[in-house]
Structure formats: structure tokens, C-alpha cells
């Protein structure tokens, strides 16, 4: 990872835990700006109008240059928003927003129980987050005879490419995304594999693409 870059969520994820009949549903996604984070929080509130609490936290940026926010949203002070934010800040993620929705189950948890519940709920949803980085990428198309399909499908991930779409007719058309830094090596490998009969076409280039980290 380049200096100054950082991990962020690749997509939206959700989880649910139940503690003493209370349901805790956590939602997490990427937010490039404070406005994006607030829009996501509003969306979750709209989707759960009957919930007792909608506890938000977000971290925009990373390292020393961050904007962070949290709210207890009616829970006792310090028992919900702050524990959620602490989990976020310890996740190594930036540009991230997390909202935990609580449906009260009729049994009070106490301040310690609330801190534990909101902490565990945030931790649970973060386990599901796929990491991504913001890098320049190429979107490409490749027209492939069926005889080359499986070798090329194996070649793509070798160079950190992702297959976004596949169309099948007389030939196969793959729509893929590659980091700019690895694309040339892929193109060389494709030329060698097909003896120069298959050439990828760059359709577009995105300077700030949210690209999943391939472990």
C-alpha cells in the first residue's frame, strides 16, 4: 500500500446480535465525506422507524487528518456512541460510517451492559467488512474465444484483476477492473498466452477507484 493511503470499506455490510431480548443491528459502509456519512445515517433511521435508538459513529479521513463523530441517540451518556467510535478508531479503517439500531427487548442492560452490547455489535459488523483501498484503475473489455476462457480467468487474479461482468454468445466478453500499476503486466501475459490474438481494450480510467484488497 502506498504511503498516505489507507484501508476503507469495500461495500455495505450488516450484522445482528441479540442480548437479553434486545436486537442490535449494525450497518457499516464507506463514506467519502461527512455529508455521505450523514446521508447513510438518515437512510438507516428511515429504514428502522420503530427502533428505540439509532446510534451513529463515523471517521472521515485517516491518521492525524480525520473528522470523527458519534452520538448516544438517547442512550445514557457514554454508553453507545463512544464505544462504537472507539471500535471504529481501532479498526485501521478510514472513510467509514457505522450505525447500530437497537430494538428494546424489555430488559434494561445497565450502563456496563450497554457499553458491552454496542461494542460487541460494532465488532461483529466489522468482522464482515471487506477492506479496500483508493487507487487508479482501468476498466477493460476482453473478447475471448471459448478455448481461451479458463486460462484467462486464471490469469486475471494473478495480476489483481477483478471480473465485473461476463457476456456469452459466439464468444465471451469479460468486463474487468485492474489496478493501473498491474495492468501492463496482465496485458503482456495475455499477449503471451494468446500468441497475440487477444487484445484487451481500456474503456475508462478511474483515478480514485474503491478497489477491494485481494489477500
At 40, which CATH number?
A: 3.30.230.30
| % of the chain beyond a pLDDT of 70 | 97
pLDDT in tens, 6-51: 899 999 999 999 999 999 999 999 999 999 999 999 999 999 999 9
Under the banding of pLDDT at 50, 70 and 90, the label for residue 215 is low
3-class secondary structure, 109: coil
Under the banding of pLDDT at 50, 70 and 90, the label for residue 196 is very high
pTM of the predicted structure, to 2 decimals: 0.82
Q: What is the pLDDT, as a whole number, of residue 209?
A: 87
Q: What is the pLDDT, as a whole number, of residue 6?
A: 87
pLDDT in tens, 137-165: 999 999 999 999 999 999 999 999 999 99
Does residue 3 lie in a domain region? no
| % of the chain beyond a pLDDT of 90 | 88
pLDDT above 60 (res 1): no
Same structural domain, 49 and 87? yes
Domain end call among 112, 129, 146: 129
Sign of the four-CA dihedral 85, 89, 90, 93: positive
Q: Write the CA distances from 170 to 142, 143, 199, integer angstroms.
A: 14, 10, 17
Same structural domain, 36 and 125? yes
pLDDT above 70 (res 4): no
pLDDT in tens, 71-90: 999 999 999 999 999 999 99
Q: What is the pLDDT, as a whole number, of residue 64?
A: 77
Looking at the structure of the chain, the number of domains it has is 2
Give the domain CATH number at 137: 3.30.70.240
Domain end call among 129, 163, 197: 129
Same structural domain, 117 and 137? no
Gyration radius (Cα) of the chain, Å: 22
**Is the Cβ–Cβ distance between 15 and 38 less than 8 Å?**
no
Does residue 104 lie in a domain region? yes
Same structural domain, 67 and 154? no
Domain end call among 129, 158, 193: 129
Does residue 137 lie in a domain region? yes
Under the banding of pLDDT at 50, 70 and 90, the label for residue 213 is confident
Q: What is the mean pLDDT of residues 187-204?
A: 95
Same structural domain, 32 and 122? yes
Q: Write the CA distances from 144 to 41, 73, 151, integer angstroms.
A: 44, 54, 11
Same structural domain, 58 and 149? no
Q: What is the pLDDT, as a whole number, of residue 208?
A: 85
Q: What is the pLDDT, as a whole number, of residue 192?
A: 95
Same structural domain, 26 and 89? yes
Q: What is the pLDDT, as a whole number, of residue 2?
A: 55
For all residues of the chain together, what is the average pLDDT?
94
Same structural domain, 90 and 190? no
Same structural domain, 178 and 195? yes
Same structural domain, 15 and 77? yes
Same structural domain, 18 and 106? yes
Same structural domain, 158 and 65? no
Domain that holds residue 16: 8-129
Q: What is the mean pLDDT of residues 103-116?
A: 94
Does residue 2 lie in a domain region? no
**DSSP per position, 42-54:** HHHHHH-TT-SEE
Amino acid at each position: 500500500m502506498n504511503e498516505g493511503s489507507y484501508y476503507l470499506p469495500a461495500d455495505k455490510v450488516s450484522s445482528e446480535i441479540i442480548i437479553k431480548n434486545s436486537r442490535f443491528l449494525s450497518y457499516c459502509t464507506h463514506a467519502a465525506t461527512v455529508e455521505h456519512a450523514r446521508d447513510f445515517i438518515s437512510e438507516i433511521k428511515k429504514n428502522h422507524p420503530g427502533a428505540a435508538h439509532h446510534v451513529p459513529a463515523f471517521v472521515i479521513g485517516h491518521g492525524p487528518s480525520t473528522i470523527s463523530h458519534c452520538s448516544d441517540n438517547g442512550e445514557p451518556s457514554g454508553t453507545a456512541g463512544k464505544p462504537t467510535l472507539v471500535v471504529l478508531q481501532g479498526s485501521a479503517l478510514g472513510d467509514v460510517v457505522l450505525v447500530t439500531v437497537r430494538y428494546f427487548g424489555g430488559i434494561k442492560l445497565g450502563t456496563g451492559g450497554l457499553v458491552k452490547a454496542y461494542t460487541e455489535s460494532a465488532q461483529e459488523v466489522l468482522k464482515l467488512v471487506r477492506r479496500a483501498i483508493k487507487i487508479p484503475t482501468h476498466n477493460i473489455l476482453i473478447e475471448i474465444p471459448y478455448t481461451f476462457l479458463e486460462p484467462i480467468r486464471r490469469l486475471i487474479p494473478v495480476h489483481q484483476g477483478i471480473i465485473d461482468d461476463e457476456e456469452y454468445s459466439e464468444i465471451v466478453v469479460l468486463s474487468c477492473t485492474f489496478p493501473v500499476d498491474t495492468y501492463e503486466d496482465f496485458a503482456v501475459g495475455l499477449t503471451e498466452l494468446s500468441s497475440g490474438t487477444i487484445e484487451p481494450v481500456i474503456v475508462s480510467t478511474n483515478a480514485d477507484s474503491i478497489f477491494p484488497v485481494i489477500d
